[in-house]
Structure 1
């Protein structure tokens, strides 16, 4: 039964380096669980080089084939510095509406890139694609992680990703079943309710999962949400009608079913660690991901088997599905077979730049005259503030304007508020300083925050800067919904750029697109920014 548990560990090697000690087990505990037979580890944090060492270490501790996974929905570089960081999936969903064949081809290459990078680090399980349909812009937890805003787009692109990632010798995972797209609350902090009929689920939520299953996806992850039409008592993760009735029997999925993290508040707020694990297995899950207490989960499963509540045959079938999945993976020695890692990374770097350029949008004019240097006003939303990779000291959004004489004013969760009390002119202009203002907004839907984007009055602020003749340009990184809200407010002659990606590569390209009128262009945009 130990092998049906997947625990969380840091990608960093030393205990004191753990970024989330509450969730990431210390090394002595992690090693003890692996030696006892725990079957998988989900990793977060560390550089690509560190994670490669970590995967080797974990396999040595386990002494058996191990599932090693990560939430790398935007390429492995999203989580592990040094690997390839790609634009969010929803960027391709929007491209699909204009150029469907190009989007499909890019989605498959996206999967190949993610799989190559993961396999090169020693990971064998990518927790993606997100198959949720983000048809609710207010969704704080799915948002730009989805491949589309309608089922046809989401399904086609997710299936293309599955084909790409699994061709690289790693497992894919369609999530969050049966669909977390049409919620306005976050299951990390509460239990969302999806009050849809079976007919509506069949029309909107289920098709992307069906397409991923048809593409051969190795695993499906559950969603922590209530579906009263299917089960009035328990969330989908713990629901037999959802996991066994709908996913196994109705949709015919024969691969691994894994829970979303049971440590999330949607579950821990209602169930103990042991009971949640038993309920998930009773419902039809094969793997229990991140129980709040691994020892309590293991003990509760053992007790449930002893009492007859869980059938041994069912757990043996889950263990067999796990072994069959592992047999689909390229072995860990494949990562060592890369003769020239730098040459192997070239296709990934080419793809990263191609994706940034293909999904970027512009508005307004690049302008003919370079204004005087002014204020580089950057809003970094609170979730991104914790991810220093977005705005390192060398990040183009900071470094390029500063090299041209612009003064940076960075607003993030701990910064002094730039807001006054006037709702029509909300910026306290005296706090900005004089001169033209380049506005760069890093905003996207993120888990744990409880909102889909900035709740700040940027439309009014944009109008205020325009009225004062101080708006020099606008760049929105991340949220297409904020861009769509602000784009119509750009005055004639003021350039605007939308970039789905927020990484340094995207910043360099966005500032290049903003135009020579601001003096921020660079003939080598994109060069050297492949983080």
Structure 2
């Protein structure tokens, strides 16, 4: 079947593609010139700020109003800091500090960093209320488990980002915080009545809308009371009914990556997922991270074919294109008139914010000159392989990396040779092996724990000191090392 080229060009204007590496491929530039809305950048696209600025300028040479998106949340999900860790603590730390003005400043600084490199759409902030402590994909990406707290920090984050001329995208509507599965891998279900969603999960999105967020991202989660058997991304009741009609959002609805199992798996492939999302009310479609020219054209052609055979109304496609063009126009103007950054440098601001989030129980001074033991753990797809831990700040202090299930407390005590032991990990309490190791060490030896993940009330009996950073950013790890007396040169910032 022949594809109408005009419809294909319209379809391209709803798509965010992606490509690997620090340079734009010819096909990525050609598609931009042919109408592609833009690209999403990932860690593989970023070497340093100068390179990133050159890359975005190259993309805009093909399409001056290209939308260039990135997931820069600070904390555990960072693209600018994917080689070292983020200079800014993430949402959980900002929520723990609970100063909305600080959150605004941090997000304004992140926005300045992005604007300086030519990025104009940040797929952040995460505004999910993390009510499921065992949530495998949100956790420290959330401001907290309290709805009102998350809502006030959502408003501050949106204001901060957009003051720098970078569009904010509040995610993941209608709320991913109550899930215990990862939508990258399957379609999670939140089996809650709408009344609970309205009181627990939705107020942060209302706050984002009130703060003027230019975009909201849909979640690939199933809420039977709202979305039926499919994900919110494919639900007209969720996107048009709830988000637009009830909450009054008139900006761009962005999809989470359509390659995720929660979308592509539910629809029968990425092209069909794109049609379902547009029909439900989405405007800008993130294809995913693994993208090539053939996939982009397959998606565009499926959308065009859907208009031809009646699965998608032309007016709906045109509406999406118009919203995306309005966002691109706003970003182009805002890029010229962005505000100056905060008085503190990004490093100073990040450290200051991380200090305010640090929780210290016990006496870190009892752990002088320790053996530092980092508990090796996995990483989520959203995070990627970003470095974390205290190693950059240890100087001559020894650190070893271990798998909790492959080492005993006695072996670590022998290795310590009389030194105290500091365990460093993320969600130490969740896995039986890491929890048991910490408890045995605390009962038998001068020991401490540095928790860099989602916090809990658990403390191993006998532990000399227990530190909670609310995230594993570079800034958060530094302040933990400071509190343990391991950083010899303290940076004196507020």
TM-score band w.r.t. shorter chain: 0.7 to 0.9
Q: Of the two structures, which has the highest relative contact order with CA contacts closer than 8 Å and spacing of 6 or more?
A: 2
SS of 2:458's equivalent in the other structure is: helix
Matched with 2:50 is 49
In the alignment, the residues of structure 1 paired with residue 480 and residue 85 of structure 2 have an alpha-carbon distance, to the nearest angstrom, of: 21
1:106 Cα deviation after fit = 0.7
Is it true that 1:485 corresponds to 2:473 in the alignment? no
In the alignment, the residues of structure 1 paired with residue 182 and residue 85 of structure 2 have an alpha-carbon distance, to the nearest angstrom, of: 28
Matched with 2:61 is 60
1:478 Cα deviation after fit = 2.9
1:365 Cα deviation after fit = 1.7
Matched with 1:276 is 273
Question: Would you say the 8 A contact 1:177–1:220 is kept in 2?
Answer: yes
Mean Cα deviation higher: 500-509 or 219-228 = 500-509
1:326-337 alignment runs, 5 A limit: 326-331=328-333, 334=336
1:247-262 alignment runs, 5 A limit: 247-262=243-258
SS of 1:229's equivalent in the other structure is: helix
1:497 Cα deviation after fit = 2.1
What RMSD in Å do the two structures reach over aligned CA positions? 3.0
Where structure 1 has 5 or more consecutive residues not aligned to the other structure, the ranges are 15-26, 97-102, 392-396, 421-425, 445-451
Measured against aligned partners, the alpha-carbon deviations of 1:127-166 in whole angstroms (never above 9, x if no partner) come to 1111211011011111111122121111111011111111
Task: Identify if the C-alpha distance between structure 1 residues 238 and 151 changes in structure 2 by more than 3 Å, giving closer, same or farther.
Answer: same
SS of 1:356's equivalent in the other structure is: helix
In the alignment, the residues of structure 1 paired with residue 166 and residue 117 of structure 2 have an alpha-carbon distance, to the nearest angstrom, of: 11
Matched with 1:419 is 407
Matched with 1:503 is 473
Question: Would you say the 8 A contact 2:164–2:339 is kept in 1?
Answer: no
Question: Would you say the 8 A contact 2:109–2:342 is kept in 1?
Answer: no
1:197 Cα deviation after fit = 0.8
Matched with 1:23 is none
Task: Identify if the C-alpha distance between structure 1 residues 337 and 202 changes in structure 2 by more than 3 Å, giving closer, same or farther.
Answer: closer
In the alignment, the residues of structure 2 paired with residue 354 and residue 228 of structure 1 have an alpha-carbon distance, to the nearest angstrom, of: 43
Matched with 1:20 is none
Is it true that 1:263 corresponds to 2:259 in the alignment? yes
Q: 1:138 aligns with which of 120, 125, 134?
A: 134
Q: TM-score, normalised by structure 1?
A: 0.81
Measured against aligned partners, the alpha-carbon deviations of 1:207-241 in whole angstroms (never above 9, x if no partner) come to 11011101111011001011111232321111111
Q: TM-score, normalised by structure 2?
A: 0.87
Task: Identify if the C-alpha distance between structure 1 residues 217 and 335 changes in structure 2 by more than 3 Å, giving closer, same or farther.
Answer: closer
In the alignment, the residues of structure 2 paired with residue 149 and residue 470 of structure 1 have an alpha-carbon distance, to the nearest angstrom, of: 33
Is it true that 1:161 corresponds to 2:157 in the alignment? yes
In the alignment, the residues of structure 1 paired with residue 247 and residue 335 of structure 2 have an alpha-carbon distance, to the nearest angstrom, of: 35
Question: Would you say the 8 A contact 1:188–1:264 is kept in 2?
Answer: yes
Task: Identify if the C-alpha distance between structure 1 residues 75 and 115 changes in structure 2 by more than 3 Å, giving closer, same or farther.
Answer: farther
Is it true that 1:285 corresponds to 2:282 in the alignment? yes
Measured against aligned partners, the alpha-carbon deviations of 1:89-143 in whole angstroms (never above 9, x if no partner) come to 01222232xxxxxx11111112211211111110001111112110110111111
In the alignment, the residues of structure 2 paired with residue 176 and residue 161 of structure 1 have an alpha-carbon distance, to the nearest angstrom, of: 15
Matched with 1:314 is 316
Matched with 2:7 is none
Matched with 2:12 is 2
1:181 Cα deviation after fit = 0.6
Task: Identify if the C-alpha distance between structure 1 residues 453 and 469 changes in structure 2 by more than 3 Å, giving closer, same or farther.
Answer: closer
Task: Identify if the C-alpha distance between structure 1 residues 344 and 120 changes in structure 2 by more than 3 Å, giving closer, same or farther.
Answer: farther
SS of 1:208's equivalent in the other structure is: helix
Shift >6 Å, 4+ stretches: 335-338
Matched with 1:448 is none
In the alignment, the residues of structure 2 paired with residue 453 and residue 230 of structure 1 have an alpha-carbon distance, to the nearest angstrom, of: 34
Equivalent pairs counted in the alignment come to 470
Matched with 2:4 is none
Question: Would you say the 8 A contact 1:140–1:453 is kept in 2?
Answer: no
Is it true that 1:525 corresponds to 2:490 in the alignment? yes
